Structure 1
């Protein structure tokens, strides 16, 4: 067996569970229903982009090397022997997929091709095979601790910079806070201008929070794009250790569905134990304050629809909370069709933004935009003036899609809409209330940033 194939097979064997083998590998009956739920296949009618096509490469390798029959027969196995070319083809096809999980909803057998693609990417990562942008983000993470090769000043530090421009102060490295607020690499580089919305909310509510000068990435891209378990674990542990060092009671993650899936669902399985600190998410925290009557909100006179990010709605169960929060903030909320766990993917997550970027002249970008036409038509059909998006990657992808198809609908991150609603309410209450957004809890009490 070639060295790369050996590494792939060894990693595949480590990752596969009994459920993976019995259901996802052996359970497929070849009906093809999964393709009718997949944006990539429905938009192109390309058989290579059918979910089963990708997963069948993994099935082929499993059956030859790891199935009971394959192990028993060894060199006498008369099935076609997998080759390095198979791995290279799997690499090409695996990142033409957002692992959104919609295909699994269409499967009467309960097969998750999404799960198999994650395992396949993980094994490819172990074998050193993958698209160049994936190798780059892994190397950046190893060297800089940030997948875009940024230091503190050009990542988390930008949150402080943008906040100060609006007259806001942010607590840094303050011990004894209730929350260590962390931000993904995508959030603190590509949409960092949205971060003051979070600062305003946390400051006004008097939430005891701090950011850290040591944490500049949550690790979502190495976990859910490169699917490198070891690198992902390093970053999860770094966040956990920093929360403990600062004596924070909980980690506060942003509007990032991949982080939600990682920290709420998968971290315990990967670590082999529960996290040592609690985890909360910004929308859930703000919603709790709003339901207690502690967050003044003035409904904005807008007709708004909601995009359900796949990784939070379909894969984590975050479905009703964003609706409840949005309905508190706007006068007219309308649903897309389909919605909730059946919503169409924006085609921006799990690596597609790296391979088909929106800010470079790359020919392949047209494929992501073609696949996104389904999402564009779905948003247009809602007949809204704005689409609320609780995800950085989804926001960037949908903004690009709407621009490409020349739509007048405005995309906006959900937490920014909440902040605007709060500010509208505070203006009616007067300057004393609006000033509460400026200073965080520690400065109001006379403490200082370290």
Structure 2
């Protein structure tokens, strides 16, 4: 069945000045096609998994009704196999014998500049959530194609303004928001005052101190999610461990995974290790960021170019360990509001954390309600892979992408009295879900999981 053209909606592209800040030299339009073919060949030579995805898909369509972007937009190019076809057809045309001699018979296509524009639009409408891989009868992961397509577009200089700005801020300050050391220290001092006022307990948030544990928060925890930062501080204080954050790497996220795995992702990973070694840390504990933890767990260890191995663990795995050791006294009766849990895609489908999240949740609250489906089969929030664009057309798409998640939350009933909690243990998920709960009028408050742990460890003195 031929696809119906629906009109492209694209994120705002980075300017040349923005791209130069992250060492991208944009390829002129009249050279883009030739350069793209060369880079596609390079990707095909290096990644057999990408070639298997190209060669093995039979277009059965099982992925369609399991993709929240397609369910939210009904745009045929958001069906995972159709999106992958944007690159697959080009690969077949130039790198298979059939495509070279009989392109029309196998659906192969000459690459044109407008095809690259379409790739830019639709590869940045994919949340890279990988739910399609769960239902594929061959186990194909079309996220491989999205990641390869974004990398190719990056090499051409076709990068969203958001990603370029975040990459530049990360290179300059070690966090996505451009927060300086002075701003970090001031914010930590303010949060320390908030903790004392709330709990009556003096809890410090050390910055750039020699320590046994280097904690990597999300920069959003200094701005949008302060209770996530204070929750982590309460946990470390309760254990009595020597911990710190580093003003050079206050960022659990790694946008390099989402648009440039070759250079940007590696540079961000090395920054973590450099700081751990400088501060004498014996362990790195990762904060609430799904794609960031996927990078830290699955990519960073293989990138190490320094001697020695520093254990890298996730915050919630640490919390679970101490719960199961009986080392935490959690006052779960403090958290009596109905709570449902959003399983971040990278925690569930990439990092095997579903059980951990539930151990921590059940120890911290009294009224936990599962959404359906859950665990590995949960639907994406709609903001995954940094589709957090604020320009009107793309914002409209973000809300459409969240329609399935909103349906899941509504069906739990936790928001029916307007006092429910939607727990999202991932920074990008929170950034997406804050507007989602307002737009869909869900009657819930978005909180991180460590927020609830912190409340249960040190109950508010006025509650």
Short-chain TM bin: 0.7 to 0.9
1: CA distance between counterparts of 2:328 and 2:340? 22
Quote the offset at 1:290 in angstroms.
Answer: 1.7
C-alpha displacement of 1:101: 0.4
3-state SS, counterpart of residue 150 of structure 1: coil
Match of 2:147 among 92, 102, 118: 118
Of residues 226, 250, 254, the one that matches 1:216 is 250
| Corresponding residue of 2:179 | 150
CA RMSD, Structure 1 to Structure 2 (Å): 2.8
1:34 to 45, 60, 63: 63
Shift of 1:219: 4.8
The change in CA–CA distance for 1:38 and 1:272 in structure 2 (over 3 A counts) is: farther
1:32 deviates by 1.6
> Relative to 1, partners in 2 of residues 1:213 and 1:329: Cα closer, same or farther, differing over 3 Å?
same
1:69 to partner: Cα distance: 5.7
The superposition leaves residues 228-263 of structure 1 with CA deviations (integer Å, 9 ceiling, x where unpaired) of 430111111011011011111111110111121101
**1:180/1:252 contact within 8 Å kept:** yes
| 1:370 counterpart (393, 396, 400) | 400
Deviation at 1:164, TM superposition (A): 3.8
In the TM superposition, residue 82 of structure 1 has moved relative to its aligned partner by: 0.5
CA distance in structure 2 between the aligned counterparts of 1:390 and 1:63, rounded to whole angstroms: 41
Residue 198 of structure 1 is matched in structure 2 by 232
- Give the C-alpha shift of residue 116 in structure 1: 1.0
Could you tell me which residue of structure 1 aligns to residue 454 of structure 2?
A: 419
Q: How far has the Cα of 1:160 moved from its partner?
A: 4.3
Q: Distance in 2 between matches of 1:26 and 1:220?
A: 30
Alignment of structure 1 residues 274-353 onto 2, 5 Å: 276-299=309-332, 300-353=335-388
Q: 2:217 aligns with which of 183, 196, 202?
A: 183
Is 1:63 aligned to 2:63, yes or no?
A: no
**TM-score normalised by length of structure 2:** 0.83
**Are residues 301 and 217 of structure 1, via their aligned partners in 2, closer, same or farther at CA, if it must alter by over 3 Å?**
closer
Structure 1 unaligned segments of length 5 or more: list them.
429-450
The whole-number CA distance in structure 2 between the counterparts of 1:272 and 1:68 is 40
How far does residue 304 in structure 1 lie from its aligned partner after superposition?
A: 1.7
TM-fit CA distance, 1:187: 3.5
Give, in whole Å, the separation in 1 of the partners of 2:307 and 2:80: 33
CA distance in 2, matches of 1:28, 1:286: 41
Question: Hey, what's the Cα distance between the residues in 1 that align with 2:158 and 2:89?
Answer: 18
Separation in 2 of the partners of 1:68 and 1:251? Answer: 49
Partner of residue 249, structure 1: 282
Residue 211 (structure 1) shift: 1.3
Aligned mates of 1:79, 1:396 — CA distance in 2:
39
Taking structure 1 as reference, are residues 229 and 122 closer, same or farther at Cα in structure 2, changes over 3 Å only?
Answer: same
**1:392 corresponds to:** 427
Distance change in 2, residues 1:154/1:190 (3 Å): farther
1: CA distance, partners of 2:138 / 2:241: 46
1:65-112 CA deviation, whole Å, 9 max, x = no partner? 3446668999xx995310122111101111111100011112111111
Counting matched residue pairs gives: 418
**1:147-198 deviation per Cα after TM superposition (whole angstroms, max 9, x unaligned):** 33332233576344323443432222222x2211112333444323531111
2:166 corresponds in structure 1 to: 137
**CA distance in 2 between partners of 1:331 and 1:162 (Å):** 27
SS at match of 1:386: strand
Alpha-carbon distance in structure 1 between the residues aligned to 2:185 and 2:40: 35
Q: Distance in 2 between matches of 1:247 and 1:73?
A: 61
For each residue in 1:292-345, what CA deviation from the matched residue of structure 2 results, as whole angstroms up to 9, or x when unmatched? 111111123232221100111112111101101110111222211100011011
What per-residue deviation string (whole Å, max 9, x for no partner) do you get for residues 7-51 of structure 1? Answer: 434443444455424421111101121111111111221112211
Alignment match, 2:411: 381
- State how far apart, in whole Å, the 1-side matches of 2:278 and 2:336 are: 44
Query: Who is 1:25 aligned against?
Result: 54
Distance 2:162 2:299 in 1: 24
**Is the CA contact 2:218–2:287 (under 8 Å) kept in the aligned structure 1?**
yes
TM-score, normalised on structure 1?
0.85
Say yes or no: does 1:48 pair with 2:48: no
